[in-house]
């Protein structure tokens, strides 16, 4: 397969949400001597951009977005070890710590946001669900994060998002570290009320917000 054809097929594998094909094409690229970074930026990223635009325009829906994210993860999983061996790496947009707050075990939305952020060049540290506020703050300090994303589906656990903001304030990490909050009940009014910096209504909007916040960090 010619290089341009290979890149086109990579993008199509993401749009189709075919993780097996995406990983296979990554292996083919390695065997053909294609630089892993070029495969990501010229092959897979255009595909994830297409699916993101289609999702924003409501021409595809959440299941397709999830599959595209999994396909992207599969491809990067093959290519990143090769980049490490070669001493190359993608340009990092920023470091993000993600967590579902203490008392809440909802994971799907946060995981999808993490996948999409990683696909767009962020270094993501996903702490999982039911994460204590102190653990979030400690991880932010450990990795020198630029951005924190805290998810809460329940109206009761949303209050913990406010606690996280206060803890980051008290630690002296604000305003350098930006804070995104997410969850079905989160509104712009809630963001303002707790002193966070923004939220995304879906994974694509979250990526755009993350880029804006990291670009605007003090």
Distance CA 136, CA 76 (A): 26
Distance CA 42, CA 81 (A): 18
Structure tokens at 132: 């204590």
Domain of 183 in residue numbering reads as 95-215
| 136 shares its domain with 171 | yes
| 171 shares its domain with 201 | yes
Average pLDDT, the chain: 91
- For the segment 58-86, the average pLDDT, to the nearest whole number, is 87
pLDDT the model gives residue 217: 53
Domain end among 52, 86, 120: 86
Provide long-range contacts, Cβ within 8 A and 24+ apart, for 52-56. Answer: 52/116, 52/204, 52/207, 55/202, 55/204, 56/204, 56/205
Reported as a single tens digit per residue, the pLDDT across 183-218 is 888 999 999 999 999 998 788 889 899 999 998 554
pLDDT at 91 over 50: yes
CA 7 to chain CA mean position, Å: 22
Distance CA 179, CA 29 (A): 37
Q: What one-character DSSP code corresponds to residue 156?
A: T
Neighbours of 135 (CB within 10 A): 14
CB 48 within 8 A of CB 182: no
- For the segment 89-104, the average pLDDT, to the nearest whole number, is 90
CB 151 within 8 A of CB 106: yes
Tell me the range of 30-44, 96-110, 137-151 where mean pLDDT is highest: 137-151
pLDDT the model gives residue 218: 40
| 72 shares its domain with 111 | no
| 109 shares its domain with 79 | no
| 72 shares its domain with 110 | no
Domain end among 36, 51, 86: 86
| 122 shares its domain with 186 | yes
* Domain count of the fold of the chain: 2
pLDDT at 66 over 90: no
| 12 shares its domain with 75 | yes
pLDDT at 144 over 50: yes
Nearest-CA neighbor of 65 among 21, 106, 14, 19? 14
Give the CATH number for residue 59: 1.10.1240.10
Q: What are phi and psi of 127, to 5 degrees?
A: -85, -5
Domain end among 86, 104, 119: 86
CB 125 within 8 A of CB 96: yes
């Amino acid at each position: 397969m010619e290089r341009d054809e290979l890149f086109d097929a990579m993008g199509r594998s993401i749009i189709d949400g075919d993780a097996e094909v995406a990983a296979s094409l990554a292996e083919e690229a390695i065997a053909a001597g294609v630089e892993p970074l070029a495969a990501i930026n010229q092959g897979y990223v255009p595909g994830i951009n297409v699916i993101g635009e289609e999702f924003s325009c409501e021409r595809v829906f959440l299941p397709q977005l999830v599959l595209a994210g999994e396909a992207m993860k599969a491809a990067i999983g093959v290519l990143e070890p090769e980049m490490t061996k070669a001493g190359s790496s993608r340009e990092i947009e920023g470091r993000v710590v993600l967590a579902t707050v203490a008392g809440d075990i909802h994971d799907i939305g946060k995981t999808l946001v993490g996948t999409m952020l990683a696909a767009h060049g962020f270094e993501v540290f996903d702490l999982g669900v039911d994460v204590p506020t102190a653990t979030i703050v400690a991880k932010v300090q450990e990795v020198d994060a630029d951005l924190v994303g805290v998810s809460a589906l329940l109206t009761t656990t949303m209050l913990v998002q406010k606690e996280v903001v206060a803890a980051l304030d008290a630690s002296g990490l604000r305003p350098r570290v930006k804070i995104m909050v997410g969850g079905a009940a989160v509104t712009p009014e809630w963001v303002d009320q707790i002193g966070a910096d923004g939220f995304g209504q879906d994974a694509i909007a979250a990526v755009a917000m993350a880029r804006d916040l990291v670009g605007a960090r003090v």
